Amino acid sequence: MHQDFTLKINQRVRISTGSSLLNIKFSDLVQDSRCPPGAYCTWEGKAIIALEINDSTVTLGDTSMVYDYGTHQIQLKSVEYPSKRTFGKERHCTITLRVD
């Protein structure tokens, strides 16, 4: 299995993989210190999100980081906003996760 999912804040995705069920919710944009679009920054910054996976809360903040949950691997692929004006505002945030 190799699937990408896009979620907005408080959205859930249910993934059934035969013997297991993953219920993933994007619960919080913990931090977004990345440089806003069109701005010059000396530090790249980072985005940190919180997910609820079944009964666990997990924080992901690096797109190279992979979280192991049982036989599955969950990776944050991106944190995006529809415009420069909405940058950093949780209610406009969309994340993409990869679940393997």
Which whole number is the average pLDDT over 61-73?
84
Query: Which pLDDT tens digit goes with each residue over 26-44?
Result: 999 999 999 888 888 888 8
Nearest-5° angle of CA 59, CA 16, CA 6?
50
Bridge-based pairing of strands 47-53 and 56-60 is antiparallel
CATH number for the domain harbouring residue 29: 3.10.600
Percentage above 90 pLDDT, the chain: 57
Number of domains in the chain: 1
**Structural domain containing residue 53:** 3-99
